[in-house]
Chain A
Amino acid sequence: MADVIKCATRDAYGNALKALGQRDDILVLDADLAKATKTGVFKKEYPDKFIDCGIAESNMMGVAAGLATTGYTVFASSFAMFSAGRAFEQVRNSIAYPNLNVKIGATHAGISVGEDGASHQCCEDIALMRVIPNMTIINPADDVEAYQAVLAAADHDGPVYMRFGRLAVPRVNAEDYKFELGKGVTLRDGKDVTIVATGLLVSEALAAAEALKEEGIDARVINIHTIKPIDKEILIKAAKETGAIVTAEEHSVIGGLGGAVAEVLSEACPVPVLRLGVEDTFGRSGPAVKLLHLFGLDAEHIAEKAKKAVALK
């Protein structure tokens, strides 16, 4: 698989911001992490439209809100832990409650942060952002999707939480891919079970479907890049047609994609929904790829879950 292009979604974030820099209304804020979040790419090109707020994420979110009231479309960036975690209440009260045009670029989400360990491995952000009214949440699968998601977020009226990763991940979308906010994408058709994946587990879900084929199981794969508002239609259709669902995400099994899918299907079309994600535990230090395997976030574990889901039908 030497020809598979690998790129971190945070890189696409920086590049997309740079492309957006031509717009007069765009401002980018960071909290002393511009090199890591890749907002530095924007800063280099548009230093006058970049504001480093220092290591003070709570204040940064409020400043972003204030700037938005003066007509700007503001991108505020930090790691997921500090954007959704530390600044949760500022995001809720100063940004989402007044429904302001602030886009949160949260990088270094999930276990794949790697060596920095549990203090920086945010596996709770989707759950935290999902309960806030007015919030849109995007978790792109690869750099192609991430780039377009940033442009879509800039055009969307209201707050958006964008979740990006540190690790270079395989590209699953073609160059001519068209991102549509709120619309799930069926990447592979199947009739026995549906794997609903998000973020870096989309490529693993595709590999799992390939492995399941060898065992005679025909798995559908759906990429849910927009976790809120979630594409109910594509989920209900998959539940009706395949009768079993597995969700896969690099996030806690509590409150993230798995929770969102279970909420939709338990009310609209109850079928077995098995959730794969980080179990109710903190992460730890280590090389990202090793950690993903250690925490069961890979094709092998997804395939195993899929077989269990099929058995429950």
Chain B
Amino acid sequence: MDTKTKLELQKIAVKIRKGVIEGTGHAKSGHPGGSLSIADIVAYLYFHEMNVDPQNPKWADRDRFVLSKGHTAPALYAALALKGYFPWEHIATLRQPDSILQGHPSMKYTPGVDMSTGSLGQGISTAVGMALGAKLQGKAFRVYSPLGDGEIEEGQVWEAAMLAGNRKLDNLVAIVDWNNLQIDGSLDEVNSPCPIDKKFEAFGWNVITIDGHDFDQIDDAFTAAKECKGKPTCIIAKTIKGKGVSFMEDKCEWHGSAPNVEQYEQAMAELDAALAGLEA
């Protein structure tokens, strides 16, 4: 990936992180930790990889994004706003009764949301359905579905993985956001799904493990996914929960709690500094 493109994506990722803080800060609730860990991949997908049209969100041939880890909607909403699906002003209305931005993604309220998700384990099944739909219709669109590392403890994920492997859905990419933390503690403390790579391999998937904050590695992985024929691809992205906000990084408690006013200011100052550094 060339330096200029990478720099642009890095800036967008910081802007997405600012959206995460702005949304959850105003809502006084939400899930910043996992939203921050997936921000780089969301930036890459919406601003480099996916073939979408914000002016025509329901375009039949668009690539699909199914946020199976639906609680990290703030990252998705920021990306959609930056992409032009709706004005940025909506970000601060997150989780309010008159907002188009629900606590978890909803097709009903938000332009650009391809599937209503939030109940863990369900999004990936719908992503499999979309990928199957593309194959049956001979269409070229691709489907991208980020999952939480804790989410893959849900049995339904493996039902979906089995069908996707057996149906050779090479137009499907699942991304496991491997930040190693879930609500009650680390994966090991709760009920570890590891080894994640061996499990997906056993279900007939092409598996690529990367640093989920390194755009070169992200780019290589999604390029390799496109080149892989006859298998769905699982990109296991090693990430840091809370990435980009120092006091949130690698802290379980930031899974589902919002910053207070002081924390909001500090987080925004850090992200503004990061953005200024990239723009310098």
- Tell me the interface secondary structure of chain A in the complex: helix
Interface assignment of B129: CB less than 8 Å from any CB of chain A: yes
Assuming A70-B133, A70-B137, A97-B106, is B126 touching A58 (CB within 8 A)? no
Among A51, A62, A70, A97, the residue within 8 A (CB) of B125 is A62
Chain-B contact segment, one of A86-94, A142-150, A171-179, A305-313: A86-94
Assuming A66-B126, A93-B119, is B133 touching A56 (CB within 8 A)? no
Judging by beta carbons under 8 Å apart, are B133 and A59 in contact?
A: no
Give A54 to B158 CA distance when docked, in angstroms: 12
A70 contact set on B, CB distance < 8 A:
60, 129-130, 133-134, 137, 139
B115 contact set on A, CB distance < 8 A:
65-66, 69, 94, 98
A90 contact set on B, CB distance < 8 A:
122, 125, 156
B130 contact set on A, CB distance < 8 A:
66-67, 69-70
B119 contact set on A, CB distance < 8 A:
89, 93-94
Q: What distance in Å separates the Cβ of B16 from its nearest Cβ neighbour in chain A?
A: 24
- Tell me the interface secondary structure of chain B in the complex: helix
Interface assignment of B78: CB less than 8 Å from any CB of chain A: no
Give A69 to B156 CA distance when docked, in angstroms: 20
Give A224 to B154 CA distance when docked, in angstroms: 39
The residues in A between 64 and 86 inclusive whose CB is less than 8 angstroms from any CB of B are 64-72
Chain-A contact segment, one of B159-167, B185-193, B219-227, B246-254: B159-167
Judging by beta carbons under 8 Å apart, are A65 and B129 in contact?
A: yes
Give A90 to B120 CA distance when docked, in angstroms: 10
Interface assignment of B108: CB less than 8 Å from any CB of chain A: yes
Judging by beta carbons under 8 Å apart, are A93 and B118 in contact?
A: yes
Number of interface residues of A (CB under 8 A): 28
Judging by beta carbons under 8 Å apart, are A62 and B156 in contact?
A: yes
Judging by beta carbons under 8 Å apart, are B163 and A59 in contact?
A: yes
Interface assignment of A53: CB less than 8 Å from any CB of chain B: yes
B157 and chain A: residue at smallest CB distance:
A59
Judging by beta carbons under 8 Å apart, are B128 and A71 in contact?
A: no
Judging by beta carbons under 8 Å apart, are B60 and A64 in contact?
A: no
B136 contact set on A, CB distance < 8 A:
27, 48-49, 67, 72
Judging by beta carbons under 8 Å apart, are B129 and A69 in contact?
A: yes
A68 and chain B: residue at smallest CB distance:
B129
Task: Kindly list 7 other residue pairs between chains A and B, CB separation below 8 angstroms, not including A58-B125, A63-B129, A67-B133.
Answer: A51-B132, A59-B163, A69-B64, A70-B139, A90-B122, A90-B125, A98-B106
**Can you give 18 A-B contacts (C-beta < 8 A)?**
A53-B163, A56-B156, A59-B125, A59-B159, A59-B160, A62-B124, A62-B125, A62-B129, A66-B125, A67-B132, A69-B129, A69-B133, A70-B129, A71-B137, A89-B119, A94-B125, A97-B106, A99-B108
